[in-house]
Structures are given as structure tokens and as C-alpha cells.
Structure 1
Amino acid sequence: MPAPSAANAAPPIEAPRARSLAARVSGAVLLLFMAGGLASTLLAVQQEKLDLAPHPLNRTNFLDGASMRDMAAALANAPLARIAADSERQFSWIATGDLGPQVRQGCDGWLFLAEELMPQPDADRHLRERARAVAAIQEQLRARGIRLVVAVVPDKSRVESARLCTLGRSAAIDNRIRVWTAQMAAAGVPLIDTTAALQGLLTRGEDPFLRTDTHWTENGADAAAHAVADAVRGLGMELEPHQDYDIQRDAPARRPGDLVRLAGLDGLPQALQPAAEDAVSSRFTPRPAAAAAPAASAEADLFGDAALPQVALIGTSFSRTSHFAEFLAAALQTPVGNFARDGGNFWGSAGAYFASDAFKQTPPKLIVWELPERVLQLPVGQERWSLP
């Protein structure tokens, strides 16, 4: 068979050296990234900055998947994983305006928590279980001579609905507060729905919520505090000691929004972040008493309990934001002990307070339990809702 001519010869096969080199470099980079991630994770665990097993490692938690969920959640917060995730979030925002799975943007730069816009699975059952828990807690507190009132904070997306624009708020959650109110009424639990007080600010041209944050403004916190105080006075309670406050408001200053942080954009230069906002901040100064207490009363109060707050506030970051606790103390004209917790949701703050020495040794006369609307229907976990 004749050999092929030079003109008809098949082209030489290109040696795959370049592609092989690229693959090796990519593989090496991946291995280095994985090794760096493992090293940084182990270091964080060693330094107790990362807890891979926040709950006990037992057979029950392992079989129902709780241990693996804990580990997955912890690894998502490992140093290198967070850097990679934040970089991806920042690029997506700059390139497409995407805020990630937890934050949504309405009009004029208003940001909203995605959790507020959609219903939770089996939501009605979870709400009923929490209502039964509150009713049971009230009975246990009543047996100890302690009154309970529940204050509901409506969703930002409910009150600031005009700022949603193209965002949709599910009709399935429209009656969430009404159902909760009915459940509390049936159980005889005093309830304050702060929705009307917050919406009243809108009619005066004041926003009750912050634009880039999940929480209320100081005007919103003040309005809600007065609504709670009015309801408490309606119970005919006499709270001591009497304390008036002078309130001074400082000039507006830049306030970072937690929704910017939740979207993973707080590491960007300010010019590349969602538009920042300014907010006022108040200072509260106890006003000196008009006259000193009689000597007999001072002697009778051997342990100084008369000066301790008779009101305890439990709840979430709403009670720790925009001076809500201080506005409540000013409206009630008595000191308020603030035992709320950031991220407390339904039971985090309450459970910690009821187990604390503060509750056991110096129980209050009144407990104000602040609850955001959005936590009422969250999936129920393994909490034990009762007093110790």
C-alpha cells in the first residue's frame, strides 16, 4: 500500500501537554484550598472559635440528624468557607444586584428579611403549640404572684408595605397576628399588638422601621413602648420604685444595617454597599427623686430589694435595639431589667431568664415578653417550654 502523500497526510496529533499542565495546576490549587480550609477550621476549633457539636453527641441526636446539622452549620461558618461565601455574595451584588437567599430589596433601597415574606411549613400547628406554651407559662408565673403581658412586634414588611413595590408578601401570613391574638385571648393572656402604634407613625410621615435593618427606628421603639405601658396601666398594677427619665436625642449619625451584613455585603467599601442611612440615638438620664425615702422604709428594706426593678423584659433583639427597654422604662416611670437576647426568637431569652439566678432570687412583679410576628410560626424544635 503506497504511503500517503505529504499533501494528504493527517495533521499531527497535538501533544496534550498544555491541557495536562492546566489540569495539574487546577488540581494543585484545589488541594491547597482544601488544605487551607482544613487547617483554618482545625485552628478555629482548637482556639474554641468554632464549635462543631454545640449539642450533646448522643444516640438520639445522631439518629435524627441533629448532630450532622450542627456540624454542617458550624462548617459553613469556618473561616475560609465564610471568606469564599462572602466573596461570592459581594460579586453577585455588584454584578447583578442580588442580595442572596435571606434578603430582598424593595423600592428606594429598602431591604427586607425574606423570612417575613413567605409562610413556614405547618405554620398553624407551630403557632398553636407556642400559644399553649405561653398559656402554660402564664399559669406557672401566676402561681408565683407574677403577671405576664405579651407584646407582638409586626413584620417590617407588614407595616412598611408601601416600600415593598414589586416584592410579594404571601397572603397566607396576613392573618398571623389575628390568629395569635385570638389564641392569647382564649387563654386569658394580656396581649399588646403594637401594629397600630407603629402604623400611626406613618400617618405623621415618620418611618417606624429602619431602611436597611430588620428593626424599628427610635420613633418606632418609643411608640411601641408607650403602647405597652398603656396596656400595663390598664391592668391596674402599681410598680415601684418610681423613676422619671430625661431623654436627650443626639444628631443623626451613620447606622450600619443588619440586613446589609446578612446579605454578606458589609465587607465591601461603603460606596459599593446598599445606600447607608442615618439614625438618631437617645440618651436616658434618671431624674433625681423629689424627696428621699423615709428612714423607716429604708430600714425595713434590709437587702435593698425596694430599689430593684419590678419589671423584667424578655424577648429578642427588638428589645435591645433603638433603646426600646429605656423607652419602656420611661413610659412606665419605673426601671426595667432587660434580659432580652439577640437571636432569642421565641424561647432563647425566656428560657435563659427563667433558669437564671436573677429570676430565682429576685423575681419581678411583671414580665413583658416581646415577640416578633415572624417567630410565631417558625418550626418548633426540641425546646422544653416550662419554668424550672
Structure 2
Amino acid sequence: MEDPKPLPQLPATRAAKAVAVILMGFLFAGLFFNIRFASTTASLLPQAVTRAGMLDGTVSKELASRMADTPIAADAARMQRALGWLALGDLGPRVRQGCPGWLFLRDELNVYADGERHLAARAATVAAVQRELARHGIALLVAVVPDKSRIEPQHLCGLYRPASLSARVGDWTARLATVGVPVVDLGPALRGVPGDSFFRTDTHWTQDGAGAAARVVAQRIRAMDEPLGSGVSSQPGYRVADKPAARRPGDLVRLAGLDALPVSWQPRAEFVTGRAYLHVAQAAASADDLFGDADLPTIAVIGTSYSTTSDFVPQLALAVGRGVGNFAREGGKFGGSARAYFASAAYAQTPPKLVVWELDERDLQAPLEAEDDVVVPNSAPVGTVASR
């Protein structure tokens, strides 16, 4: 068998030389910025470099993470995202496009291993929280926000939502109802909204969607066994004003890494008209209320960014006719805001009569995290009366 003959060496073209020069420029720029980053950083490696960490990849993962923080790496990532979108319509690993102009969060469409076990563990946590709150005379109502892809299926346009996810909300509400935890599925209310319940380029509900959810939560609160009592309550003071139409940047555009592009190059912008709910402090109703206690909220909302967007809490306060405190946190997922609230001075010193725990459907089956372990303090907060 003859040895293979070497391929003929063709002369370099002008275009090839230009590409080579550009590539060398990138390489030298990367070397410069990496050396600069290393010189201004105390250590690129973790504080404790161990043999086990080197063998299991912990050290290399930490090194890669720190190197990714260099300016050229961040700029290159933004450029890659922009080119992927402009050339291929690619939105990255976290965002998917349905019908033209409609974006969806990839997390909603994930099927997790052991998802049922994760959901059952979270349901058990909620039941334990309810039992502890009941010991202090505080009621609990759980409200589950369905996925945008569940409520807006007509805008998926071929984007696949696994059939195994169809029973997720029903499984959650059934588990809680079985152990006596009041729970409300916001899906029917959101489907009944004229127009869109969710923004096209955002994960969150529109102001009309939030209002529909607030009204059904208020209806369920009134149907509960008088958790707020029948005494004089604080009346929420809000001045409602119309807002002119304005462009609303979507969080899915930002998540896709396209928010730095010119607006005309981004997914089609959304223009929204809405209402502003401006809180107005209530004056003392009597001489016994000189310190304004009547304006303190009797309902506390904990949960995710759904409770911090589209004026959900002001609309709930107006619908239920009570003061509502908003203790939800963006990015709080299942237990983040609950853990923070039950450990806060607000809960210890001015406890509510009712806690509304708003949860995202997409978080119910996700892998368990440390913040999912929610515990209510054993000691009764000031002003509560233990149930008998």
C-alpha cells in the first residue's frame, strides 16, 4: 500500500490572509485581556485547590467561570447572541419562539427527572407551613400561576409543549386540597381575559391578566372561613391613573441577550397602555388610631415576580377591600421569598391574618434547592393569637 501523497499547497488568497490577520488579532486581544484580568484579580483559582477538586472538575469549572468574566468574553458572548438571532433567528438556550413575535421561556417546557417526587416534596413543605401558621392563628391561601405556554397555546405555532406537563397543575392542587390547604388555580381566570393574559415578549401576565387573577384570589379569600375576622379593616388607598401607551421591554428579550441591539433589530417591540396604582396613605379613622394602625396590611403576599409586576398586589387590595403587603421577590422561585419573609422583622412584629403564597407552575417539578426548605419560626410573632 502506497503512502498517501501530500495535498498540493495552494497559494494563500487575499481573503484567506485577511481572515488569518483578523483571527490573530482576536487571539492577541484575548491574551491581552486575560493577562490584564489575571493581574487585577487576587487569584483565578479557587481559594482551596485540592486534588479531589482537580479530579472531579471543580477547579476547572471555577477557572472557566472566572475567565468568562473577562471583558472580551462578555463582549464575544453578546456578539454571538446577536449574530445567532440576526442570521438564524436563534434565541439561545433559555428562550423559544412560537408564533411570530411570541416568545416563551424554555423552563416551562422542561420535563424533569423525578419531577413528581419534587412536586410531592414541595406540597409537603406547603402543608407543614400551613400547620405552623395555623398554630399562630394565621391562615394560608396558595395561588398557582399556570405557564404562559399553557394559557396561550394558540400562540405556540408548532412549539412543542410535552403532553406529560398537562396534569402538573391538577396534581398540585389535588395534593394540597387532600391535606386541607386552600389552593386556587388561576388558569380559568386567565383564560377568560379578553385579549392577551400574558405579554408577547415577557414571561409575565398583562395588567388585565393580573387583575383577573387578583379578583379570583379575592373571591376565594371571601369564601374562606372568615380568616380576616369581621372587625374594622384597613381600606387600601390607591389613586388609579391611566398611563399613555409606551414601549415595554420584555424580559425574554433580555434573557436572550438581545437587549443591547437597536430596537428595530430586536424581536418586535410591544407597546402597552395601562393604569398606574399610586398608593395613598390613609388618615387615622379615630383617636384610637393616631399611629395609623388601620393602614397596616392584614394580608401578606409572598411569591415570585408575578406578584411584583402588572400591579397584581394593588388590584388584589382593591378587590378584597383590605390592606395587602407585598413581600414577593423577583427570582424567588418556590421558597425564596417565603424564607425571607418568615425570618423578617415585618413578619415578627406586624404579623398578617392571612398569607397568600403565589407560586409558578414551572417551579413545581424543578430539582429541589436549598431555598425550597421553608420553615416558619416556632415562636409566635407579636400580635398573633394561637389557634385553639
Give the TM-score band, short-chain normalised. 0.7 to 0.9
Equivalent residue for 2:208? Answer: 219
Answer with 368-377 or 236-245: which moved more.
Answer: 236-245
Partner SS for 2:322 = coil
**Cα displacement (A) at 1:80:** 3.4
Are residues 1:33 and 2:30 paired?
A: yes
Q: Indicate which of 169, 177, 183 corresponds to 1:185.
A: 177
Match of residue 238 from structure 1: 228
Return closer, same or farther for 1:102/1:232 CA change in 2, 3 Å cut-off: same
Change in CA separation of 1:298 and 1:70 when aligned onto 2, cut-off 3 Å: farther
Q: How much does 1:74 deviate?
A: 6.3
Contact 1:225–1:324 (Cα < 8 Å) also in 2: yes
2:156 paired with 1:164: yes
Partners of 2:58 and 2:331 lie apart in 1 by 20
The CA deviation string for residues 161-213 of structure 1, in whole angstroms up to 9 with x for no partner, is: 00001111000111000000111111211111100000001xx3x10000000
Q: Is 1:266–2:259 an aligned residue pair?
A: yes
- In the alignment, the residues of structure 1 paired with residue 56 and residue 345 of structure 2 have an alpha-carbon distance, to the nearest angstrom, of 33
Closer, same or farther: CA 173–57 of 1 in aligned 2, 3 Å: farther
Q: Distance in 2 between matches of 1:13 and 1:173?
A: 58
Aligned partners of 2:338, 2:75: CA distance in 1, in Å? 34
Of 351, 358, 373, which aligns to 2:361?
373
Q: Counterparts in 2 of 1:14-29, with a 5 A limit?
A: 26=23, 29=26
Taking only the aligned residue pairs, the percentage that are identical comes to 47
Q: Could you tell me how far 1:127 is from its partner in structure 2?
A: 0.4
Question: Hey, what does 2:386 align to over in structure 1?
Answer: none
Among candidates 307, 323, 331, match of residue 295 of structure 2:
307
2:327 equivalent to 1:339:
yes
String of CA shifts for 1:18-77, please: whole Å, max 9, x gaps: 99999898567425314414634775x78xxxx998xx9899x97998898677666655
Question: What residue is the counterpart of 2:192 in the other structure?
Answer: 200
1:386 aligns with 2:359: no
TM-score, normalised to structure 2's length?
0.82
- The alpha-carbon distance between structure 1 residues 200 and 360, as it changes in their structure 2 partners (threshold 3 A), is same
Question: Runs in 1 of length 4+ with deviation above 3 angstroms?
Answer: 12-16, 18-29, 37-43, 56-59, 61-80, 285-289, 303-306
Counterpart of 1:82?
74
Contact 2:148 2:203 in 1 (8 A): yes
Going from structure 1 to structure 2, the CA distance change for 1:314 and 1:58 (only over 3 Å counts) comes to farther
Secondary structure of 2:143's counterpart equals strand
Corresponding residue to 1:113 among 105, 113, 116 = 105
Deviates more, 1:312-321 or 1:376-385: 376-385
Partners in 2 of 1:86 and 1:175 — Cα distance?
Answer: 38
CA distances 1:89-114 after superposition (whole Å, capped 9, x unpaired): 10011011111111111113100011
Distance change >3 Å, CA 79–CA 127, structure 1 → 2:
farther
Structure 2 CA distance, aligned partners of 1:69 and 1:366? Answer: 45
Aligned AA (1:234) = A
Tell me the amino acid that sits aligned with residue 186 of structure 2: T
Distance change in 2, residues 1:288/1:89 (3 Å):
closer
- Is the CA contact (8 Å cut-off) linking 2:140 and 2:357 kept in structure 1? yes
Structure 2 segments unaligned to the other structure (5+ residues): 1-7, 378-388
Paired amino acid for 2:365:
Q
Unaligned stretches of 5+ residues in structure 1: 1-11
**In structure 2, C-alpha distance between the alignment counterparts of 1:71 and 1:310, rounded to whole Å:** 49
Cα separation, 2, equivalents of 1:283 and 1:13: 71
How far apart, CA to CA, are the structure 1 residues paired with 2:145 and 2:197? Answer: 11
Could you say what secondary structure the match of 2:192 adopts? helix
SS of the equivalent of 2:200 reads: coil
Aligned match of 1:324:
312
Q: Is the 8 A contact 1:57 1:67 kept in 2?
A: no
1:139 Cα deviation (Å)?
0.9
What is the rounded CA distance, in whole Å, between the counterparts of 2:65 and 2:186 in structure 1?
34
Tell whether 2:107 aligns with 1:124: no
Given candidates 198, 206, 215, the residue that maps to 1:209 is 198
Residue 371 of structure 1 aligns with an amino acid whose one-letter code is L
* Structural RMSD (CA): 3.4
Matched-pair contact (CA < 8 Å) for 1:216–1:322: yes
- After superposition, the Cα gap between the structure-2 partners of 1:215 and 1:79, relative to the gap in structure 1 and judged at 3 Å, is farther
